[in-house]
Amino acid sequence: MSSIKIDWSKVENPELVFQRFPSRRSVVYGTKGIVSSSQPLATEAGLEILRKGGNAADAAVATSAALNVTEPSCCGIGGDAFCLFYDAKTKSVRALNGSGRAPKRLDIDYLNSRGVYNRIPLTDLNSVTVPGAAAAWVDTIENFGSGAVSRADIFAPAIRLAEEGVPVSEIHGWAWQKSEDLIKNASPNGDEMLLNGKAPLPGQVIQLPNLAKTFREVVEKGKDGFYRGRIAEAIVEVIKSQGGLMELDDLAEHTTSLVEPIKYTYAGEVTLYECPPNGQGLTALLALGILENIQQQGLSRPLLEMEHNSPEYLHTLIEALRLAFADSQYYVTDPDVEHIPLKELLSKEYLASRARLFSSKGTNPRVVHGNPTNSSDTVYFSVTDQWGNACSYIQSNYAGFGTGAIPKGCGFTLQNRGSGFVLDKNHPNALKGGKRPYHTIIPALATRGDELFLSYGVMGGFMQPQGHVQVLLNILRGFSPQAALDAPRFCISAGTPDAESKSGGAAGDVNSEVYFEEGISAEIVKRLRDMGHDARQVGGFERGLMGRGQVIQKLQDPSGKLVWAAGSDLRADGHAAAQI
């Protein structure tokens, strides 16, 4: 169809246009590198670096920067990033936390004095934590890159796209339309990311010359090009203009954290790796552990013997994830500031005790976080290379374009990740100056023994750990990477759980709704309602709630030759493509 003529804001029933389910996409195979992302031009940027001799990490940064140009409604240099890197030589997994910290001067009392309680509003510029993506890109190259390509080489595709312009894709164009007013009103600089004062329509070409200038400063000066000088000053200026407390020192002192990934081995077969807190990857590990213990205790049949997406199967996964969220949304915070009992949370004894809260007959009406010391809009992509390395990468502005505020002359919006803090001084995730908030974005890797099995992820707020579990179990069921992504999913609401439950219960209660994609029948949804679930169905653009994933699986040809098999989510604009 001729996308240029579609103005989504004027389409009465956009879901009728957005009929791509079920679709048929083939698995993409390759014997060298593969890039799987939500934007074809970003995928090509990564392939360009692989062809020049760069490895998976080098290509991941090229893809990441290109996504800032091709999909700024989800991500950018004004946001944060996390990465997991599988090193084929050492057969080890390493993690990078590229999230930023709250301004040192910002505290709960200041926000309360401005009439802000519970959470920082998404449009309040005090929700801007120090953007971590720029440092994450530089540190990914320096710590995991091949050394065969320069920083200039890696950023060249994104700079070219920003200067020459890119045609806007369909789903991304719809997201831009929705955020037009936000961008116009968030700062005086909205025109830097609009086309003639309007959000660009699908198929229209938009240039982002100021973003290209920002990228060039990072190429020339490294991290100092972003965290000191012109760009840092512009960030502070726009935040302070609206009562924010960010200072130049907050930016200058920012550091990326190289951290040890956390992991859980499921059924003695596959080990799932996640970045540790302040990311929410712990949720996926807890859910897998609870699921395994539910089966070991005979509280349900083995998952893979259940019919896929049957009421029995869905109920079991939902209940395990509700228990996992009850813990993670209480305990996940900045480990540099608060102690997190990770070892105890992932212990066999604790997971067994949580599994005993499961009933195959219906929902547990009151799920609260346990006490393990005594007994929940983003872009994800994956890159692999000819040497067997894999880079699982994710980046985000948090809520779409984030705050929508643009530092003058910089060409990007600032994230609103600080809205992830709780404004309760007694909560582990309470706001403190210099602290990192609960973070939703999480990449994933899975191994069999010490051999890479999957580099994958599912983007989308609190959907992410839910997607990690559902897609992994689909693969273990025998689905191909593409089929594992195509399969209809469920999503427990982003309201799971909050400091106060909607029902007025104690902190940590999980009584939220569960959404099911079309493809899961109305009859199944009704049966789940009968079991106590607040079950609802979604279709059309609302399917964005289910996240958008990418999967690359490592295969072994009978000849011994390395083969990659990749899928790309049909809920997004992109695809997987192989290096030749």
**Is 271 among the residues known to form the active site?**
no
Helix (H) / strand (E) containing 553: strand 548-556
In whole angstroms, give the CA distance from residue 29 to residue 44.
16
Determine how many CB atoms are found less than 10 A away from the CB of residue 52: 17
Asked if residue 25 lies in contact with residue 570, where contact means CB atoms within 8 angstroms, the answer is yes
- Reduced to 3 states (helix: H, G, I; strand: E, B; else coil), residue 253 is coil
CA distances to 57, 108, 389, 480, 549 from 451, rounded to whole Å, are: 18, 46, 11, 19, 22
In whole angstroms, give the CA distance from residue 536 to residue 111.
36
Helix (H) / strand (E) containing 537: strand 535-538
Catalytic position from the list 63, 214, 378, 447: 378
- Reduced to 3 states (helix: H, G, I; strand: E, B; else coil), residue 435 is coil
Asked if residue 221 lies in contact with residue 440, where contact means CB atoms within 8 angstroms, the answer is no
Asked if residue 452 lies in contact with residue 390, where contact means CB atoms within 8 angstroms, the answer is yes
Residue type, 431: L
User: In degrees rounded to 5, what are phi and psi of residue 372?
Assistant: -70, -20
The residues near 403 (Cβ < 8 Å, ≥ 6 apart) are 122, 123, 124, 125, 127, 128, 186, 413, 414, 415, 416
Asked if residue 176 lies in contact with residue 143, where contact means CB atoms within 8 angstroms, the answer is no
Q: 554 burial class (0-12, 13-18, 19+ CB within 10 angstroms)?
A: buried
Handedness of CA 83, 74, 235, 151 (dihedral sign): positive
In whole angstroms, give the CA distance from residue 77 to residue 513.
33
Which residue has 């009439």 as its token pair? 115
Asked if residue 214 lies in contact with residue 412, where contact means CB atoms within 8 angstroms, the answer is yes
Instruction: Report the Cα–Cα distance between both ends of the chain, in Å, rounded.
Output: 30
Q: Which residues are catalytic?
A: 378
